[in-house]
């Protein structure tokens, strides 16, 4: 695991975008795993800028999103489908046929989940997976207690996640209680992983991810075993690390 600590969110976002740009330029048909939430927005803004100003080409890229709320149609303003088009897809030249996002309205979640896994395999696996981390240490929607060997499935959201995400909805009661998410094992099988964390409210989760034991209670901790993970933090998110300072390792 390589740790990179940047001064602030803007520097973090630029570094993350640089790594994605390098992946796309090295392998134009790269397969990206994409995350939603507030943390990766800066990275996506930088990628849009690279596309507009430098001609960064997404025409051969394939993308798979980590998760989606159950019960929200694709055009719902708080769906992750809507989020991705608003914050990235509408602004770059990715082929819509190469965009895959879990279907929050599917009537057969088990069948959909197996098909989603199959599509990832057919694409050759995920080359670079972008992740955030929840305040309780989850990745995707893999809440504390999720078996680390599980795959894409329907999950019940923890109260802390509902609380965290309620800021995006008019009221807490509007936050969906279930989601479809890639499992920790699905995420772990990506060839390269890029986890981003910003802010003091993520510092404890980051410390447990990097320095704590590998445990289903902190699903992000499984990444300690991954052969090619980069964690990019701003100084506030890195503030509770004891063993690791500014140097990468």
Question: In this structure, is residue 30 part of a structural domain?
Answer: yes
**What percent of the chain is predicted at pLDDT more than 90?**
88
Sign of the torsion formed by the C-alpha atoms of 247, 212, 1 and 48: negative
What pLDDT score does 93 carry?
98
From 117, 138, 189, 234, the catalytic residue: 138
From 46, 67, 68, 189, the catalytic residue: 67
Instruction: Give yes or no for residue 247 having a pLDDT over 70.
Output: no
pLDDT tens readout for residues 66-123: 999 999 999 999 999 999 999 999 999 999 999 999 999 999 999 999 999 999 999 9
Instruction: Give yes or no for residue 245 having a pLDDT over 70.
Output: no
Q: What CATH number is given to the structural domain containing 155?
A: 3.40.50.1360
Question: In this structure, is residue 142 part of a structural domain?
Answer: yes
Beta strand pairing status for 67-69 and 178-181?
antiparallel
Total number of domains constituting the chain: 1
Domain containing 19: what range? Answer: 2-234
From 143, 164, 189, 234, the catalytic residue: 143
Question: In this structure, is residue 45 part of a structural domain?
Answer: yes
What pLDDT score does 244 carry?
64
Question: In this structure, is residue 49 part of a structural domain?
Answer: yes
Question: In this structure, is residue 241 part of a structural domain?
Answer: no
From 46, 117, 127, 136, the catalytic residue: 136
Active site residue 143: yes
What pLDDT score does 201 carry?
94
Question: In this structure, is residue 71 part of a structural domain?
Answer: yes
Active site residue 138: yes
Question: In this structure, is residue 137 part of a structural domain?
Answer: yes
CB count in 10 Å sphere of residue 28? 12
149 vs 155: CA distance, rounded Å: 14
Sign of the torsion formed by the C-alpha atoms of 232, 153, 208 and 127: negative
């Amino acid at each position: 695991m390589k740790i990179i600590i940047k001064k602030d969110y803007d520097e973090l976002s630029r570094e993350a975008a640089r790594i994605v740009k390098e992946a796309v330029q090295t392998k134009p048909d790269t397969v990206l795993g994409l995350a939603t939430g507030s943390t990766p927005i800066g990275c996506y803004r930088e990628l849009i800028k690279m596309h507009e100003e430098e001609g960064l080409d997404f025409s051969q890229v394939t993308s798979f999103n980590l998760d989606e709320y159950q019960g929200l149609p694709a055009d719902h303003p708080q769906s992750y489908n809507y989020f991705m088009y608003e914050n990235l897809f509408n602004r770059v030249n990715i082929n819509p046929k190469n965009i895959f996002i879990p279907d929050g309205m599917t009537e057969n979640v088990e069948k959909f989940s197996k098909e989603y896994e199959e599509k990832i395999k057919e694409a050759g696996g995920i080359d670079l997976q972008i992740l955030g981390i929840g305040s309780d240490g989850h990745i995707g929607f893999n809440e504390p207690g999720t078996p680390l060997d599980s795959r894409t499935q329907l999950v019940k959201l923890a109260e802390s996640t509902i609380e965290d995400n309620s800021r995006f909805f008019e009221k807490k009661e509007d936050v969906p209680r279930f989601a479809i998410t890639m499992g920790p094992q699905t995420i772990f099988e990506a060839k390269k992983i890029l986890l981003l964390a910003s802010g003091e409210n993520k510092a404890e989760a980051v410390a447990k991810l990097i320095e704590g034991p590998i445990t289903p209670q902190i699903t992000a901790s499984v990444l300690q075993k991954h052969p090619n993970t980069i964690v990019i933090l701003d100084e506030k998110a890195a503030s509770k690390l004891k063993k690791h300072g500014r140097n990468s390792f």
